[in-house]
Structure 1
Amino acid sequence: MTTMRGLAVLIIAILTAVSLSSCSVVSGGPTAGEIDVRTLNIGKYPVKPLDINNDAEPGMLSWSQVGSLRLGEDVATPDQVSPGLVSNGDYHPRTFSAQSPAKDLGDSSDMQSVAQRHRLMFGFESEGYDTDTIFARYDWPYMAQNGTGLSIMVMQFGSPAEASAAATEFYEADFGRYQDQNQPAPIAKYPDTHAHWRPGTPTLRSFLAHGPYVTALLVATPTADLTALTMLAQQAYDVQLPKLDARNLITDEDAVHLPLDPDHILSRTLNPYAFEMPLGSSNDQNTVVGPHTLLNYEPNFVRAKQTLDALGVTSAAFTDSALVLRTADPNHARKAVTDHLTMAVDGSVVDVPPGVPDATCLQYTGWAGIGSDDGFKFLCIVAYRQYVGYVASLQLTDAQQKAAAQYALFANSQWE
């Protein structure tokens, strides 16, 4: 969708897409019992599936980002630590690398040096809040509005020794930058944690090595209470470390050969620019992710999880134009249409794209997590077999054409 923050910001870029012909003809005749998608008004949008081979691999270009997205399935979301932390903050890429560290990790030049020296391979961040505010990331971080916030950053290194050294040096670099005002903050249950805070400011940052992983936290509480800060950090480690213990380790060599689109989900996703790989540190689009990872690209963890669970989602793909979910079966997919199962608040029903079965379109007024923050926005949902597609636009006609194109692309992709 568009800035449904997973569905939405991902789509809003398409509003500036290059112009194609105003009305295209869809190739491919109908199969038995299905409509002839060549009759649909798909506007300027292409409906030919990308030829992403089963053996397509990230290679040396995208291996770190693809491996980081796999790591995301084993990174706790903050609401799993504290149930009130359901708001997902601002949209930004959740994967990070040695060349482009997470902002919440600390000063980028300091962190980059440590990460490169100790072979950071994969990184994934999940952040959550109990208010509408986010971390202000200038100098020592703080929340502009009193509330609780938590950023969980998990990194995988080449070996436990490298992870241990990195955790120590991350802390030394970060604390060294603020040592005139900050103080160490021990976490009793995890004595190997390197943590510090600024008295009078309700935030704490910590680093803990665990096997080949380092879990860094940025924690905020409503008041500058060190006990509350360290308790929330301890709770986060209580949840996160067992996930790492249970994880199947993926090495850098493994990541180079991970399949990019093993179930042909990305090739089924509306993709006018025909990007077949992630775009790098600027965003996490053009990728296939698991349902837990997908939560980090949606505005509200609880609402998103309820939708994904109701649909029995097994995997997903998103581009700058659409989100596609693979559900348990066709009956589950149709529930997205009939029950208006989205990742954001429900909208009011408007006209569906002409001739498209199993489709619905919703209208949002003002800020609804879709598009910009003014005017009307439209979201359309289409179901085809076990797949659900979400598209959005600032104009209803464009949203309808995208929905028709997504449906036609589904129909043209039945080679399994």
Structure 2
Amino acid sequence: MLSRGIRFAALAAITLTVAGCGSTIDGTAAAGELDVRELEVGKYATDPLDLRYTYYHDLSGGANLALMRLADQVVTGPEIDARLKYGTGAVPILDAEKATKTLADVTQPVLESNGMMFGYAVGHRDTPADKSGKRPEDASFTTVTVLQFPSEEAAKKAAMEIEELDFELAADANQPVQLSKYADAHTHWRPGVPTIGSVMARSNYVINVYAGLKDPELDKLTELVEQVYDAQAPLLDALKPLNREDMLRLKYDTDGMLRRTLNPDGFGSPDISSQAAFELRGFLHQVSDQDHWSRVMRDVGMDRYSLSRSMSNSSMVFRTRDTEAAENLITVILENSYPNAADAPAAIPNARCGESPTKDDYSTKRFRCAVTYRQYVATVEGDQLTDAHQRAAAQYALLTNSW
């Protein structure tokens, strides 16, 4: 159905807003380093998470780990086309109903009957969002949904049936389109309407594309769809499909990012929205200005990112190339979303704090502070500056206490 808009849910992000119990600090100061035992950390724990939480493999955790793994292999806007600088959100998909946030509602039974396992959907466009979050009428955009099925046969069948149902929603107006580079793709458009839909099976995966331009020019629309497949297909070719046993056995926090991330509650169950670790691409799905942050993060060699979020906490950790790169990143980490300078905790070397210009937004904390230790940069948030300082101190101590 090519008349539908992008129906992204709660993860429509703004620039880098992706979006602690005992006070005793363990550890011993090394030569030339701050003695973190002297820091004022308030109530926030400074022990690595794995000393307070143990992950026991289960289906829910495995599904979320599978989503994180897939997110790292789903294409970003600038990888498709340099014009598509801005992300419009991401939708993690754990069931067929959630997939209808970006696919037509009528496809839900098809997804269920073919055994859809999980998926991830992302959006991009060439203009930033307005205050309402709506897409301007003349904006170029893509919506890319990647779903994994139990087998290649199931994926092929699902792709064909998705196209049939989508086409039939406006059968009197839609026309089939053949892509010269991707003969296996099922594609259609509605003449006079500047959008196009396409779906293609790739191994056990299904890639669904919904894209639009300012003008209803079929050659340019098909070119855009082929650009999506050019960028997305190789990423999936490099990602071995999982079966349900594989999902159950996925390793938790393999690079030790979550153990380094401030988590006051000590609850570490994998959750792609609130307790997760990603590579660069997975991080970029969570910000608006993907072009800007892609350049920033590539310049500092950022290869791993983690977040720990709850009602009382929002913390992030970035792993960069080396100490110098981390020091470069901390100089820009607050500039767009927390641009108003705020006092930093004096005891922590190179710490930075900023105040948000956003008012009356319950989801945005007033202050964000950033600290750096070796190749890591971390951010914490609080509505009171003293609390933000204590969180920053606990996060810094946590980084020094991790190995």
TM-score category (smaller protein): 0.7 to 0.9
Match of residue 65 from structure 2:
66
1:110-259 correspondence runs (5 A): 110-133=106-129, 143-259=135-251
How far, CA to CA, are the matches of 2:335 and 2:305 in structure 1? 13
Contact 1:3–1:9 (8 Å) recurs in 2: no
Instruction: Give 2:307's match in structure 1, choosing from 308, 311, 318.
Output: 318
1:5 Cα shift?
A: 3.9
* Structure 2 residue aligned with 1:297: 286
Aligned-residue Cα RMSD (Å) equals 3.3
Matched, 1:362 2:354: yes
CA shift, 1:166, in A, is 0.5
Question: Conserved in 2, the CA contact under 8 Å of 1:72 and 1:293?
Answer: yes
**Identity, % of aligned pairs?**
32
In the TM superposition, what is the alpha-carbon distance from 1:58 to its structure 2 partner?
4.3
Partner of 1:333: 326
| Residue 223 of structure 1: how far off its partner (Å) | 2.0
Q: Offset at 1:297?
A: 0.9
- Equivalent in 295, 309, 319 of residue 306 of structure 1: 295
Shifted more, 49-58 versus 387-396: the winner is: 49-58
Give the counterpart letter for 2:308 in structure 1: T
Q: Distance in 2 between matches of 1:377 and 1:304?
A: 22
One-letter code aligned to 1:111: T
CA pair 72-211 structure 1, distance change in 2 beyond 3 A: same
* Per-residue deviation, residues 18-59 of structure 1 (Å, max 9, x unmatched): xx99xx733325322333334333344333332279994642
For 2:394, the equivalent position in structure 1 comes to 405
C-alpha deviation, 1:83, in angstroms:
0.3
Cα 1:404–1:128 shift into 2, 3 Å: same
Aligned with 1:89: secondary structure?
strand
Deviations 1:121-176 (A, max 9, x none): 23122321111349x99xxxx94431100112222221111110010111222223
Q: Distance in 1 between matches of 2:368 and 2:93?
A: 27
Deviations 1:175-216 (A, max 9, x none): 233335433333333232222333443222211112222111
Q: Distance in 1 between matches of 2:44 and 2:53?
A: 25
Q: Give 1:395 shift.
A: 4.3
Matched residue of 1:120: which SS? coil
SS of the equivalent of 2:45 reads coil
Closer, same or farther: CA 334–181 of 1 in aligned 2, 3 Å: same
Alpha-carbon shift at residue 305 of structure 1 (Å): 1.6
Alpha-carbon distance change, 145 to 405 in structure 1, aligned in 2, over 3 angstroms: farther
Check the 8 A contact 1:307/1:342 in 2, yes or no.
Answer: no
> Residue 269 of structure 1 is aligned with which of 258, 261, 265?
261
| Cα distance in 1 between the residues matched to 2:290 and 2:144 | 14
Q: Is the 8 A contact 2:151 2:203 kept in 1?
A: yes
Contact 2:15–2:337 (Cα < 8 Å) also in 1:
no
Q: Paired residue for 1:17?
A: none
- 8, 13, 17: which one pairs with 2:17? 8
Segments of 5+ residues of structure 2 without an aligned counterpart are 1-10
Measured after TM superposition, the shift of residue 389 of structure 1 is: 0.4
TM normalised by structure 2 equals: 0.84
Alignment of 1:31-110 (within 5 A): 31-33=29-31, 34-51=33-50, 56=55, 58-90=57-89, 92-98=90-96, 100-101=98-99, 103-107=101-105, 110=106
- Amino acid across the alignment from 2:390: Q
Letter in 2 for 1:69: M
- Amino acid in structure 2 at the alignment position of 1:326: R
Deviation at 1:221, TM superposition (A): 0.6
Q: Normalising by the residue count of structure 1, what TM-score does the alignment of the two structures yield? A: 0.82
Letter of the structure 1 residue corresponding to residue 253 of structure 2: D
Q: Give the Cα separation in 2 of the matches to 1:353 and 1:285.
A: 26
SS of equivalent residue, structure 2 residue 139? coil
2: CA distance between counterparts of 1:397 and 1:182?
60
Residues 54-100 of structure 1 show CA distances to partners (whole Å, capped at 9, x for unaligned) of 9946421222221122122222212111101111114x544554452
For 1:267 and 1:399, locate their aligned partners in 2 and report how far apart those are by CA, in whole Å. 20
**Secondary structure of 1:166's match?**
helix
Identify which of 18, 28, 31 aligns with 1:30: 28
Rounded Cα–Cα distance in structure 1 between residues aligned with 2:187 and 2:13: 34
1:246 Cα deviation (Å)? 3.3
SS of residue in 1 equivalent to 2:328: helix
Measure, in 1, the Cα distance between the counterparts of 2:363 and 2:301.
Answer: 33
Determine helix, strand or coil for the equivalent of 1:88: strand
Kindly tell me: are residues 263 and 242 of structure 1, through their superposed partners in 2, closer, same or farther at Cα, counting changes over 3 Å? closer
| CA distance in 1 between partners of 2:364 and 2:243 (Å) | 47
Structure 2 distance, partners of 1:3, 1:324, is 21
Decide whether the 8 Å contact of 2:187 with 2:196 is kept in 1: yes
Distance 1:306 1:75, change over 3 A: same
Deviation at 1:291, TM superposition (A): 1.6
Matched, 1:347 2:339: yes
CA displacement, residues 99-133 of structure 1 (integer Å, 9 cap, x when unaligned): 521522222xx333222221222312232111134
C-alpha distance 93-353 of structure 1, shift in aligned 2 (>3 A): farther
